[in-house]
Amino acid sequence: MKEITFKAFAITNEIDLNKIAIQCGIPKKFTWEEPLTLKEDNLKTILHKNVDESQLVLVFSFGSIVFINFSQYFEIKHILKFIHSFEPDINLKNPDNYKDDYTLRIKDTEKIELTDEYVVVPEYETFYPELISTVIAKSVALEKTEEQLGKINDSLETLIDRLEKGKLRIGNKELARTTAKIVRHEYNTLAYIMILDKPEITWTSSAASQFYDKMLNFFELNDRYKIMKSKTEILYNIMDGFSTISHSIRGLFVEWIVVILIVIEILLTVFGILGWLP
């Protein structure tokens, strides 16, 4: 039985593929829809050693990297350092925070078998590595975004605690920062991970399209995406509520100031009539 191993890492929110392509001598303009594939010649230059032709690295614009048939962790670290030279925001100390391992197994079987750790297929197809890489790359990127959403929820919980304690005033800067986090979260999900976009090969090959859809459904990417979208909408509604309360309090404060000024003006007029003021 032949096996192909995959190691996926979500290390940042965005990677400029064209910078890396220029450095690697790849004469192609990359768009967000396609990954940059580093093959034997590129990897040999980066690692300064010979590599097996079956070893590949797929770099995705939404911040994920997939290593195919890499068993030596020092090689993975070396390539991550190479990517870091183009994207300084990458955290090299903890690249394993969002990671997934997967295996493609080829053996004599009647149908495709999917599990959490591997997929079994009856025969090898050239589109398998790219499609598997794409799905697990999106999965780990989504995991990273899901955790970021949890941090936003924590910050909102702090605001809710303040409301429960009667501290109703919330600064504009604090509201703006929290709203920006929600917008950034949604933007990262929609623009970078591109859950709803399908690889180009799936539009020309029905077999590739069917396999990709099976992988997509098994990893529940669409369901996870919908859950995140609904949670994001809830966050927006909560922020609207905070904003309404904050603006109402400010409006009430201004109204009271106006009333106090009017009362003071009336008192000054009365005091002037009574001769109590010069």
In this prediction, residue 224 carries a pLDDT of 82
Give the helix ranges, DSSP H, for the chain. 17-23, 40-47, 73-84, 128-164, 172-187, 201-204, 206-218, 221-273
Q: Cα–Cα distance between 134 and 125 in angstroms, integer?
A: 15
User: Between vectors from CA 243 to CA 240 and to CA 247, what angle results, nearest 5°?
Assistant: 140
Q: What separation in angstroms does the CA of 69 have from each of 116, 120, 237?
A: 18, 16, 46
In this prediction, residue 247 carries a pLDDT of 60
CB 47 within 8 A of CB 125: no
| Residue 67, token pair as written in the block | 């290593």
To which H or E segment does residue 101 belong?
strand 99-106
Rg of the chain taking only CA atoms, in angstroms? 28
* CA dihedral of 89, 94, 99, 105, whole degrees rounded to 10: 110
In this prediction, residue 215 carries a pLDDT of 92
Would you give the distance in Å from CA 210 to the centre of its chain? 26
In this prediction, residue 257 carries a pLDDT of 79
In this prediction, residue 100 carries a pLDDT of 93
Write the DSSP symbol of residue 65. Answer: E
**Up-side HSE of residue 114: CA atoms within 13 Å toward CB?**
12
List beta partners, residue 7.
Answer: 67, 101
In this prediction, residue 160 carries a pLDDT of 66
User: b/e map of 57-83 (b: 16 or more CB within 10 Å)?
Assistant: bbbbbbbbbbbbbbeeeebbeebbebb
CB atoms within 10 A of CB 146: 16
Q: What is the DSSP string of 142-180?
A: HHHHHHHHHHHHHHHHHHHHHHHTT-----HHHHHHHHH
Q: What predicted TM-score, i.e. pTM, was given to this entire model? A: 0.76
In this prediction, residue 117 carries a pLDDT of 93
Q: Cα–Cα distance between 113 and 211 in angstroms, integer?
A: 11
In this prediction, residue 249 carries a pLDDT of 61
Write out the chain's pLDDT in tens, 278 residues: 589 999 999 988 888 898 999 888 888 787 767 889 999 999 999 999 999 999 999 999 888 999 999 988 899 999 999 999 998 888 787 888 889 999 999 988 778 999 999 999 999 999 999 999 999 999 998 888 877 777 777 666 666 666 666 555 556 666 666 666 766 666 666 555 666 678 888 888 899 999 999 999 999 888 888 877 777 776 676 666 666 656 666 655 666 777 787 877 777 777 667 666 66
User: Between vectors from CA 202 to CA 127 and to CA 41, what angle results, nearest 5°?
Assistant: 35
In this prediction, residue 105 carries a pLDDT of 93
